[in-house]
Amino acid sequence: MKKIMVIGYGAMAQTVLPKLPLDVKLGWVVVMPQDIESTRKLVGSDVEVVSQVSQITGVPDRVIEMAGQAGLRAHIFDLIEKGLDIGVISVGTFADSEFTEKVREEAKKYGARVHVLSGAIAGVDGLASAKVAGLDAVIYQGRKNPRSWKGSHAEQLVDLDAITEATTFFKGNAREAATLFPANANVAATLALAGIGMEETKVELIADPSMNCNQHKILAKGVFGEMEIVMRGVPLENNPKTSMLAALSVARFCNQLDDSLIV
């Protein structure tokens, strides 16, 4: 029996954990101190619920972060020092180049492996492969219903309640997008890491009242040829900022824990 740890126990974690394979068990949950008691009631007495990685007993076979950028920053270096295998969904945190370099250096020092999960999109493997020969351009377009942008920096740029047609409210690069929209633009950071970097990856964010899903469009050109991928993902029912496919990418990471043939 393999045992995993999760950082954060919000909408995504509660979607992922029922999809664990039978031979993978939840052993530890790390949450904010004020959430410990309520989380214990949800996960049961067999699961250790703590607020710091240093408080756990035993060693997880795999760790999955689903706590947002602040949660990742708070715990990743404690996880790395334990030499753990870590899956990261809050990829926008890597828009901070100093943080990213420190993660690389510390992971190498302690023998940890940090996996950037594919999240809400497909094609990351193809983009990373194309990068080997050389990429000329990567453009990401994120299109969501205005209500899915509420609570984000979009409210400072456009009146979301007044939108009646598709409106592009942000154009910039992946670093800017991931910094300004930490809960919405993990995809931009993932594409930047896989492709031509934070500055060169162009991002357009769109509020479209006709959308009943979250749409991600990826355009790439390079020596390999051209790529165009459109994903229309159903958002999580209890968190419309997050695509269900992002949660399923975490479940896939867990399902691969004991596989000998990895696709």
Q: Measured between alpha carbons, how far is 74 from 71 in angstroms, rounded to an integer? A: 5
- The mean pLDDT value for 231-259 works out to 85
Interval 113-131: pLDDT, tens? 999 999 989 999 999 999 9
Is 173 annotated in a binding site? The answer is no
> Do residues 122 and 249 lie in contact, with contact meaning Cβ atoms separated by under 8 Å?
no
Answering whether pTM is above 0.85, one says: yes
User: At a CB cut-off of 8 Å and minimum separation 6, what does 231 contact?
Assistant: 120, 121, 122, 215, 216, 217, 245
Give yes or no for residue 255 having a pLDDT over 90.
no
- The mean pLDDT value for 165-192 works out to 92
> What is the per-residue pLDDT for 184?
73
The residue count for the chain: 263
> Do residues 123 and 117 lie in contact, with contact meaning Cβ atoms separated by under 8 Å?
no
Mean pLDDT of the chain: 94
Give yes or no for residue 110 having a pLDDT over 90.
yes
Phi and psi at 153, nearest 5°, equal -65, -15
Interval 136-173: pLDDT, tens? 999 999 999 999 899 999 999 999 999 999 999 999 99
- Residue 220, number of CB atoms within 10 A of its CB: 26
For CA atoms 4, 11, 40, 76, give the dihedral sign.
Answer: positive
Is 120 annotated in a binding site? The answer is yes
> What is the per-residue pLDDT for 263?
83
Give yes or no for residue 4 having a pLDDT over 80.
yes
**Where do we find the tokens 């706590």?**
67
Is 75 catalytic? The answer is no
Between CA 198 and CA 78, with CA 10 as vertex, the angle to 5 degrees is 65
Q: In what order do the strands lie in the sheet with 85-88?
A: 48-50, 24-30, 2-7, 62-65, 85-88, 113-116
